[in-house]
Amino acid sequence: MKNLDSVFAAYMVGWTVFFVYYISVARRTAALREDIERLKNLLNRGK
């Protein structure tokens, strides 16, 4: 079938963008959670 590779390329590109964004938000959230924990520990030590 002519151009089937272009169709697969478009879908692969699309799903990759969504997946990368999902992972990026998850990683930013995890990093922020770590920062919050560090801050909490710092505050507790200061008391």
CA count, 13 A, side-chain hemisphere, 6: 3
Instruction: By CB under 8 A, tell whether 11 contacts another protein.
Output: yes
Instruction: By CB under 8 A, tell whether 23 contacts another protein.
Output: no
- How many whole angstroms separate alpha carbon 47 and alpha carbon 44? 5
CB atoms within 10 A of CB 34: 10
Instruction: By CB under 8 A, tell whether 10 contacts another protein.
Output: yes
Instruction: By CB under 8 A, tell whether 45 contacts another protein.
Output: no
Binding site for another protein (CB under 8 A): 1-4, 6-7, 9-11, 13-14, 17-18, 21-22, 25-26, 28-29, 32-33, 35-36, 39
